[in-house]
Amino acid sequence: MGKRTPLYQTHVELGAKIVDFSGWDMPLNYGSQLDEHHQVRRDAGVFDVSHMTVVDMRGKRIREFLCYLFANDVNRLQNKGKALYTCMLNERGGVIDDLIVYYLDDEFFRVVFNAGTRDKVLAWVTGHCGPYDVTMTQRDDLAMIAVQGPHARDKTHGVIGAQAAKAAMALTPFNAVQTGDLFIARTGYTGEDGYELMVPVTQVNKVWGGLLENGVKPIGLAARDTLRLEAGMNLYGVDMDESTSPLESGLGWTIAWEPEQRNFIGRAALETQRRDENRQKFVGLVLEDRGVLRNHMTVVIDGRPAGEITSGGFSPTLGRAIAFARVPRNVGATCQVDIRGKLLNAIVVKPPFVRNGKSCLDITF
């Protein structure tokens, strides 16, 4: 038996197929993965993401510490409640984890790490925070759910009470607010508008139940994966890990090179890699032929194996196979993928594939 979130029994009662995810017993789907995917693109769905690692960090020098710890620049967070997506790197520039950090007060930041990286991440942060006198608190008393889709915000407002709804409505994208017991962030992992809510463990079933009564449908991890792939969002451990840097993982935009004097862990290695003309590039692929792209398939350029798919799958919104792949920098507009010995044609694109329910591709088939 794996670890279980406070919503585990609710998932079972909803008929979820439960699978192991990084040591957690989590819902894979509640019936049809495709229906759940479309539900989020067209209306509203709710995910249990309570397995993720929420850590509160406090201290007089907390901002200075996080500026050293993360590749993106926490000094970009100047308004309370503002969120930032960043990688945390090792000295070689490899990605230890990707995360969202919220600036809540001058001596208080909240960080949401992945579920599968919990132990190593906490060890890494603990190993580096000594000189900065930082207090870390794991928030295992909080559960986290994500409500996503074009109608997600409206349907949430009716469930969380008038005061919280008012605070939520005032949020601009990538901002969060604490209101009463509820932490509301206008963030997500689907490419749709919506919220990620943190609530005390004792109250999460009430909020979840209210959302379902209000027409929001439960969505499993399987649809979460196709939604994030369409949205061009990386998955840690699949698209990047400690052996790959953000530069090779389509995450160059999350590295804050300026100001030049900001020293962060991994910076020196990234500077070297940045000048390397042979480093690989991270692209999106759309399969022209029929078939499905899968993780670890080989990308073939000019008849030779040249790269690898990191995440591949069928895009329910586009009705074709899509993927992320690591390929040589000089890749052209097309390539081929080896699918069980057959070479099928793919178009090279810049992710995302889908945003706010619509295709981002200027290709017609």
Partner 1 sequence: MSKIPADLKYTETHEWARKESDGTVSIGITDHAQHLLGDMVYVELPDVGRKVKAKQECAVVESVKAASDVYSPISGDVVAVNPELGDAPELVNKDCYGDGWLFRVRPSSTTELDGLLNAQSYQTVAEADEH
Summarize as ranges the residues that interact with partner 1 (CB under 8 A).
29, 32-34, 222, 226, 290-292, 294, 313-314, 316, 321, 340
Instruction: Measure the CA angle with vertex 257, ends 255 and 260; round to 5°.
Output: 150
Q: Is residue 345 classed as helix, strand or coil in its secondary structure? A: strand
Residue with Cβ nearer partner 1 (34 or 269) = 34
Smallest separation (angstroms) from partner 1 to the CB of 224: 12
Q: Is residue 26 classed as helix, strand or coil in its secondary structure? A: strand
Smallest separation (angstroms) from partner 1 to the CB of 292: 5
Smallest separation (angstroms) from partner 1 to the CB of 317: 12
Smallest separation (angstroms) from partner 1 to the CB of 365: 14
Residue with Cβ nearer partner 1 (329 or 342) = 342
Residue with Cβ nearer partner 1 (67 or 321) = 321
Q: How many residues does the chain have?
A: 365
- Is residue 4 classed exposed, middle or buried when 0-12, 13-18 and 19+ CB atoms within 10 A define those classes? middle
- The span from the CA of 195 to the CA of 188, in Å, is 6
The phi and psi torsions of 105 (rounded to 5 degrees) equal -160, 170
Smallest separation (angstroms) from partner 1 to the CB of 226: 7
Place of tokens 């998955």: 235
- The span from the CA of 134 to the CA of 107, in Å, is 9
Smallest separation (angstroms) from partner 1 to the CB of 15: 13
Residue with Cβ nearer partner 1 (38 or 157) = 38
Residue with Cβ nearer partner 1 (292 or 300) = 292
Residue with Cβ nearer partner 1 (147 or 222) = 222
- Is residue 110 classed exposed, middle or buried when 0-12, 13-18 and 19+ CB atoms within 10 A define those classes? buried
- Residues forming a β-bridge with 185: 176, 196
Please name the amino acid found at residue 210.
G
Non-local (6+) Cβ contacts of 158 within 8 A are: 165, 214
Smallest separation (angstroms) from partner 1 to the CB of 33: 5
Helix or strand (DSSP H, E) at 101: strand 95-105
Residue with Cβ nearer partner 1 (303 or 341) = 341
Smallest separation (angstroms) from partner 1 to the CB of 343: 14
Non-local (6+) Cβ contacts of 141 within 8 A are: 200, 201
User: What region does 242 belong to: left with phi over 0, alpha with psi -120 to 50, or beta?
Assistant: alpha
The phi and psi torsions of 136 (rounded to 5 degrees) equal -110, 135
Residue with Cβ nearer partner 1 (34 or 238) = 34
Residue with Cβ nearer partner 1 (31 or 210) = 31
Smallest separation (angstroms) from partner 1 to the CB of 155: 25
